Every structure is written in structure tokens, then in C-alpha cells.
A and B are shown apart, each in its own frame.
Chain A
Amino acid sequence: MEASTIIETINLTKRYNRQTAVKDLSFKVNEGEVFGFLGPNGAGKTTTLLMLMGLSHPSGGSARVCGLDPLRKPIEVKGIVGYLPENIGFYGDLDAVQNLKYVADLNGIQADKASEKIDELLDLVGLKQDARKKVGAFSRGMRQRLGFAEVLIKDPRLIFLDEPTIGLDPDGALRLMDLVASLNRDRQITVLLSSHNLHQVQKISHRVGIMIHGEMVAEGTIESLAKEKFGVGEKEYTLEEVYMKYFQEV
């Protein structure tokens, strides 16, 4: 089955003064897949995500998200894409429902529909009993789950997750990843997952891309990358081993 392309970048480049954060990046993400976006800190992953949403202007090259150019149609793109930043912030003096309500308002969702949706999403992420608690009192895990609800409120076709499990306890991280996998499976949401937890990425990604120093050094299924590095005979491998192999070569 040949899936259609939802994200495509062609020689996408971003320079800050003299430093090149992203260099001639070309990759594709197919609709309906979980794409593991890997790379060391400072490899340019977040910059790439920002460029895909039209929040950062590329110095060169182009990108297409759902067939739209994020540079020319940022509003349309941002209406389709849900973005969970690495350190998501909330209004601490508002409760969970009020925080979600604001995002629903910003997305132009009608009030009665929004409150229905908020109930449903809070239930989905397991925050129903904390709906009226001030977010300032939320734990890290609860904030992350609320962030998920916030991303889903606009019914995105595509979600960008930037280190969603960082700082979470193992159980919380596991449940979050299960949630991502179920969203992808049940709602056909395409997921661009950037994470350092390679074990989890391996479990839920269909394909991965490894970005080092602003360049995509590898892209494909974990199997194909492993074959390339370890040969066909190798059966036992982990994404971690594959990743380290690429990393050491650069």
C-alpha cells in the first residue's frame, strides 16, 4: 500500500548568523504513520518543526505540509497541525478546563461544541477528576497529559511531539506512548515524534529519521537502517544500536 505524503521538505535550510541549524534537509513523512524524528540535542529538530509550522522562516529550500506551503499559508497549516512543545506552558491560575477553553477559542471552536470536546478529551487523557483544579498545582505528568488534550482539541491531522516523555516517570512515559500509538491507530493521526527515548520510539514508530548537525543522515524503517549497518544476517538489534552506529560515523 502506497501512502500519500503528508510532509515533504526539499533542501530546507536555516541559518542563524553564521551557524547553520538545518542544512539541505529533504525528507518525507507519509500520511498515517508514526515518524520517529531522532537526533542529539541541538541537531535542529525543533527548528525544523518550527519551519514546518511557518513559525520560523527558512533561509532556503521549501516545505509542504498537507500540500500547503507553511510560509504562505501559516494559518491553514496551524489549523491542521497540533504542536506539543518540549516545555509546554499553561496559565497556572486557570483550571484545566479554562486552559483548554482558551485554545478552543483560538481555534474558533463554538462554545457548546468546545465544552463537549473538552469533557471527552479530559476523559481520554485521564484528567477528568482534575478538570477544575488550577493547572499551577499540576504535576509534570499531568501537565504533559493536559498538553495532549490541548493538541487534540483542534482535531489535527498531524501532530508534532517534541520530547513528550522528557522528565516523566517510566509508568507515565509508557502510558503516554500508548496514548500516542492509539491516537495513530484509531484516529489515523500522523505523528512526528521527536524523542531521546529510543526504546519507546522503536516500539511505536513505523519509520525513523536520524538528524545530526542539521542533516538527515538516515531515513527509513528501523529494519532497513539496521540492514544497512549490520548486514542482512543480523536479526537482533535495537534502535539504540543503529542510532549509535550512525552517530559514531558522523
Chain B
Amino acid sequence: MQGLYAVFKKELCDHFSSYRFVILFALIAMVSFISSYMAGIHMKENLEALANTRFPFLMLFSSTGALFSMVQFVAFFGPLIGLVLAFDSINREKAHGTLIKLISQPIYRDAVINGKFLAGIATITIMLVAIVLVISGLGLVIVGIVPGIEEIWRLFIYLIISIFYISFWLAVSILFSISFKSIATSALASIALWIFLK
């Protein structure tokens, strides 16, 4: 257990201090905000139509204002977050000679992989929860509608499912980073699989 927590802490630190995370987060946050903002503006102009829908607040996430909705965006680009976070997690350690050092410490080998996986999940969770909360706040201000209890529940379940979905891709990219020696190959394999399944 001690090894798992140590790896988790280190990896989480690495994620948050890396340019990769900053770029990824900026990209996802920007696109999500823009699409939700567009949806919000659109909703504001059509308030009568909004009155007839069951879950007006959720429209913020699911209505396609201009191009696509925030939900569509996460469904499409979510896997990429998972892949980008971990495609080099194990083989980079191997290439830098740090893997042998890690596993010669008194920890189980699984702790290295599990710690990295959990750190990835934590990063994804923080990213998505932050984005959804900011968009909700944005919606309260722009459109002026308050979410009901059921809407909050639905949003919560949506978050859980999205995190599971992206974590699946995170696991896939860790698997590739274990099985391919070269970082470029594992990146390519991850993206190839993503494009193939899309």
C-alpha cells in the first residue's frame, strides 16, 4: 500500500506540473466553455421553448448551440484525454532507466501501474468536475435557471459515466505503454485504436 500511495502522489504531482496537462486542460476547458456559452445564449433567446422541456438546465450541456454540445465534445475527445495522459507512462520510465530503480524498491510491481492509473483517474476527475461546475455557474448567470434535484443527479451520473469512459482509454494507453518499448509506437497505437473505434 505504501508504494501505491507514493507512486500515486508522485504521478499526480507530475501531471499537474506538466505542460501536457496545462495544454490539454486549456483545450478542453476552452472548447467546453465556448460550446456551453453558445448554448446558453441560444437558450436565452428562446426562453419559451425552454419552458416546455423537462430538464432545462441540462440543455446547457446537451444543446448544440453553434457546432456541437459540450457532451458531444467530451464523448468525442474524452478518449484523447485518457490516451494523452498515459501513452508513455511505463515505457518512458523504462527508457530513462527509472523503472528498474522503482521496482527494486520494496513495493509490488502492480503498485507502479496502479498508482499511475489512479493518478490518471484523479486528474481526469478533477478536470471534468471543474469544467462541469464552471459551466453550471456560467449557466446560472447567463440563462438564470436553477437546476432541480433531479438535474443535479443526472449531471452527477453523467460525470461518473464520463470518468469511467475516459479511464477506460487511460487503461488502454497504459497497456500500450507497457507492451510497446518505443514511446512513439505506443502513442501511434493508441491514436490508431481511437480513430478505428470512432
Contact = CB atoms under 8 A, between A and B. Distances in A.
Interface of A: 53, 55, 75-76, 78-79, 81, 83, 85, 87-92, 102-103, 105-108, 150, 154
Contact of A107 (B93, B100, B106, B108): B106
18 contacts: A55-B100, A55-B103, A75-B108, A76-B106, A78-B107, A81-B104, A83-B101, A89-B98, A89-B99, A92-B96, A102-B10, A103-B101, A103-B105, A105-B6, A106-B102, A106-B106, A107-B106, A154-B106
A105 B9 contact: yes
Given A75-B107, A83-B101, 8 more contacts: A55-B100, A75-B106, A78-B107, A83-B100, A83-B104, A89-B99, A89-B100, A106-B6
Interface of B: 2-3, 5-7, 9-10, 93, 96-108
Nearest to B3: A106
A179 B79 CA distance: 50
10 interchain residue pairs of minimum CB distance: A89-B97, A105-B6, A79-B106, A89-B98, A106-B105, A108-B2, A89-B96, A83-B104, A78-B106, A106-B6
A150 B101 CA distance: 9
A87 B98 CA distance: 9
B105 A87 contact: no
A81 B108 CA distance: 15
Contacts of A79: 106
Nearest to A103: B105
Contacts of B107: 75, 78, 106
A102 B6 contact: yes
Nearest to B96: A89
A91 to B, nearest CB: 6
B7, B9, B102, B103 — most chain A CB neighbours (10 Å): B103
Given A92-B96, A105-B10, A85 B101 contact: yes
A103 B7 CA distance: 10
Contact of A85 (B2, B5, B7, B100): B100
Given A90-B98, A108-B2, A85 B104 contact: yes
B14 to A, nearest CB: 8
A53 B107 CA distance: 12
A76 B96 CA distance: 26
Nearest to B102: A106
Given A105-B6, A105-B9, A78 B105 contact: yes
B16 to A, nearest CB: 13
A45 to B, nearest CB: 15
Given A102-B6, A102-B10, A105-B9, A91 B105 contact: no
Nearest to A55: B103
B103 to A, nearest CB: 6
Contacts of A91: 96, 98
A178 B62 CA distance: 69
